[in-house]
Amino acid sequence: MSDLRATYRLQLSPELTFDDARALVPYLERLGVSHLYLSPSLQARAGSTHGYDVVDPTTVSEALGGEEALRRLAEAMPLILDIVPNHMGTGEENRWWSDLEERRRVFDVEPGTAFYRRFFDIDDLAAVRQEDPAVFELTHRKTLDLLNEGVVDGVRVDHPDGLADPAGYLRRLRGAGAQGIWVEKILHPGEPLRDWPVDGTVGYEFLNDAQAVFVDRGGEDVLDAVWTELTGDDRAFAAHARAAQVEQASTTFQREIAWLQRLAPQFDPETLAHALAALPVYRTYVEPWSGQVDDLDRRYLAAAGLPDALVAALTLETEGLDEFVTRFQQTSPPIAAKGIEDTAFYRYNRLLALNEVGGDPGRFGITIGELHRANALRSEHFPRNLLVSTTHDTKRSADVRARIGALSEPALRDDWAAFARRWVPEAPDPATGFLVLQTLLGAHPIEPRERLDGYLEKALREAKVHTGWADPDTGYEERVKHWAGGLLSADDFLEEFDYLHGRVVKAGHRSALGQLLLKLTAPGIPDVYGGDELSYLALVDPDNRRPVDFDARRRALDDPPEKLALILAALELRARKPEAFAGGYDALDAPAGTCAYVRGGEVLVVIPVAADAHGTVRAPGFEEVPAARLGIYERGAAR
């Protein structure tokens, strides 16, 4: 595998093809990244805008330019490729789907029926039987050829938790020639990555820790009080999440629950729905085929408070339920994702900076010491874990999250509470008022207006309280859009908003730079999401998949603003001192409010977390550095 220093994530489409990406290579080389990290690039269904609806994994996407164009791109810059083993698009374009005999062989179809396992709740994405070696070989032939010929250096594995046997799949993938493997695995705070043959995750646990350390834990009481006062809702986030998961299990995933009950009739649908929602993690990894039950899984199942008979079944103490155990474990991840990330995250709007993929909005910040421990563990076990701050799946870009997170700071939280008390009662409903006001503070200016309207429509439907995807109340949606848009043309609102927004932008900029420097220098491999090298105010997809103005970014290299300058400096240092960033991680006993560490004995990193950080950072072999000055320093180099 080529020297891996940093990646740049590109969202390919018919408007951004392999050849278009190749034209960007000189710019990316000047930026300092070593690898292009591509969205799915195998043949997707006609008109696909994202590539996750693959219909022929044996062929490189013609819409993106075909295999020869992909190979030309690989000659210009090493590649990491996003692959989608869990599911494929249905329909006539998929030759295995259109043939009923092949459908039953390749796809996860219940014997004797037509109710197949879906990807989440998407009916036209059907799950694949990757546990069958023949199906694995059939669907991975092209990917493995590209890996073994050196066209692709490594792969990002989409949604491994949907597979019957994630560990077995990853062992087979590694054994077949994949030297670099990163899994899109959502780890709950404190959950370890299993002992899989991978280089690490795609980095959501890092993203949430980096944001959390910049959330002032002293602000929780103030933000909690104003949320409870205005909404009348004093439930903890865990209660919102549990209720939403049960709701999703009982409605959206009724057919999956029915499948489970047919496999284990002794468990009624209500018991199964509550059990799937009760797990403290996305899924367990009990192996009926090997009889293996990990102690960690026993603890998770015990913590869920399940009926004894169900625990006995899920820990292989009851004979004849092997398929039920496997299906149960494949069903809990989509219920967690749809219930937590795509429902509860849009209902519990206390501080939206914490409502991020893999995050827990109930965890109001972490200490610098907790961040150091997480970084040290990553350095020891997964030194090539990807480090992300913005992705195609994040609810908000890093710059937006940083601004919203700053509302917890001492200088802002009381003013935010007063602002919310003034304007939330004017909203169509209080929770939506919190959503709109924080969105405006975090992402303003949101132009054109259609971006805000589109975001609000999606957010309201995801919340599934006053409207939803299945039965939209367009009248309610229009009232919210009208209220939100009207705020930005009301003089009394703008007078208060502009004052608070200006301070939020300043505090958010400091936080965003600190999180960026963490990503660029902490143990792991930093990833830059396409466009995020300049100020990037994006909301959930499709907003974060808008075309990127690369001409503006090329021009900015000649006179880089602060964010871009930090990326250029850090990546240049990583290229020049690779041994330092491949080496140890030594946390320093820095003054309060400052995160400081040394990489490989050669590079000192200082990140003021608190706005009032002061004092001096001292490290052996380095000159003293002001604790309030964000920076990266070489041993012995003049400043």
Res 561: pLDDT: 98
Joined tokens for residue 2: 């080529």
Residue type, 565: A
User: Is 70 exceeded by the pLDDT of residue 356?
Assistant: yes
The string of DSSP codes covering 413-482 is HHHHHHHHHHHGGGSSSHHHHHHHHHHHHHH-S--SHHHHHHHHHHHHHHHTSS--SSS--HHHHHHHHH
User: Is 60 exceeded by the pLDDT of residue 638?
Assistant: no
How many CB atoms are closer than 10 A to CB 620? 10
Segment 39-66 shows an average pLDDT of 97
pTM tops 0.95, yes or no = yes
Joined tokens for residue 17: 């093809």
Res 466: pLDDT: 98
Contacts of 453 (CB under 8 A, 6+ apart): 481, 485
User: Is 70 exceeded by the pLDDT of residue 149?
Assistant: yes
Where residue 259 falls among pLDDT bands split at 50, 70, 90? very high
- Among the listed ranges 107-121, 324-338, 413-427, 467-481, which one has the minimum average pLDDT value? 107-121
Alpha carbon of 634 to those of 600, 621, 631: distances in Å?
Answer: 11, 10, 10
Q: In the sheet that 118-119 helps form, which strands lie side by side, from edge to edge? A: 87-89, 122-127, 118-119
Burial grade of 375 (CB within 10 A; 0-12, 13-18, 19 or more)? buried
CA pair distance 170, 136, nearest whole angstrom: 11
pLDDT digits (tens, 9 = 90+) for 280-339: 999 999 999 999 999 999 999 999 999 999 999 999 999 999 999 999 999 999 999 999
CB 104 within 8 A of CB 74: no
Res 637: pLDDT: 73
Which residue do the tokens 């034209």 mark? 23
Burial grade of 49 (CB within 10 A; 0-12, 13-18, 19 or more)? middle
CA pair distance 187, 210, nearest whole angstrom: 15
Contacts of 570 (CB under 8 A, 6+ apart): 32, 517, 520, 521, 526, 632
User: Is 80 exceeded by the pLDDT of residue 625?
Assistant: yes
User: Is 80 exceeded by the pLDDT of residue 498?
Assistant: yes
Segment 537-553 shows an average pLDDT of 97
CA pair distance 91, 124, nearest whole angstrom: 8
Q: How many residues would you count in the chain?
A: 639
User: Is 80 exceeded by the pLDDT of residue 112?
Assistant: no
Nearest to 608 by CA among 513, 537, 543, 485: 513
Burial grade of 323 (CB within 10 A; 0-12, 13-18, 19 or more)? middle
CA pair distance 535, 630, nearest whole angstrom: 18
Where residue 147 falls among pLDDT bands split at 50, 70, 90? very high
User: Is 60 exceeded by the pLDDT of residue 161?
Assistant: yes
Per-residue H/E/C for 73-140: HHHHCCEEEEECCCEEECCCCCHHHHCHHHHHHHECCCCCCCCCCEECCEEEEEEECCCCHHHHHHHH
Res 636: pLDDT: 81
Averaged pLDDT of the chain? 96
